[in-house]
Amino acid sequence: MKHVYGPIPSRRLGKSLGVSPVPKKACNYACVYCQLGRTSRMTNARKSFYPVEEILSELKAVLNARVEIDVVSIVGEGEPTLYADLDELLAGIRGLTDKPVAVITNGALLGDEEVRRVLQKADIVLPSLDAYDEESFRKINRPHGSLDFERMFASLVAFSRSYGGQLWLEIMLMRGINDDSESLRKFRQLLNKIRYDRLYLNTPVRPPAEAWIQPSSPERLEEAVRVLGGMAIGYLSADSYHSEIVDDYEAVLSLIRRHPLNQYEVESFIKSRKGNPEAVFRQLNADESVEKLEYKGYMTYRLK
């Protein structure tokens, strides 16, 4: 499938059925930690990348298979709020399921009145806040040239106070970049201005866009929890993945297009389908469209 994948185990959302309305790496950020690799299509213009009917048709097919899910997540292979037909997409999803609908966003377009209006229709909005000033914003998120930290943060604060659903904020912490005591103090000052329901403290657990990025240590995550509150989720999930695609290898490809998997996750996924992991690994290793990265002692696979 082109737009719908999973459900995948989410450390925040449970069994999440993903919906991707934007092309691969179409984003207004080029985050140094992105698990999908470097941004190849930097844009801050909202577009109708795909017909809404095309996306909803895929979603309907998966839902008709009565797959067990907890939430439908609009997450994308880039930034989902760049999808100009997000309003119609949300309405269409509502017509297909009574499960909660979440939008995972970098928050860069919260200054857009139309984006704020549309996001009011989501049950859960999960914006990210990885930086605390303009310098760290440029270093970590590497945003589109038309974006700046002050406006982005002011828009996040304003949205948090007007939004009627659940706002779950996420901070991605990286060793020596934004996890030191001074950085945590600055984050604390910013958090005091935002109305949020949950705070998740994350750290990279899959190969990041830039090889020099390292995850925060357990000690630093503990310190972050103490200073900022919230919940640390910087650990790999041991839960299983799911795909409606019959062919094992094609099912793996559909997952790693948006959600890189390590070798143990691939093996567990194939075994859960009564398949042959060795055959799938041979295909992965021979496929030139699949990027193989050794990270934290294990091999991770993602599409180039």
pLDDT in tens, 143-195: 999 999 999 999 999 999 999 999 999 999 999 999 999 999 999 999 999 99
The tens digit of pLDDT for each residue in 73-103 reads: 999 788 999 999 999 999 999 999 999 999 9
d(C-alpha 13, C-alpha 253), whole Å:
22
Q: Which residues pair with 174 in a beta bridge?
A: 215
pTM recorded for the entire structure: 0.80
- Beta strand 14-19 with 4-10 is antiparallel
CB 123 within 8 A of CB 100: yes
- Class of the CATH domain delimited by 4-239: alpha beta
pLDDT band at 296 (very low <50, low <70, confident <90, very high): low
pLDDT at 71: 96
Mean pLDDT of the chain: 91
pLDDT band at 245 (very low <50, low <70, confident <90, very high): confident
User: 24-33, 80-89, 180-189, 249-258: lowest mean pLDDT where?
Assistant: 249-258
d(C-alpha 260, C-alpha 258), whole Å:
7
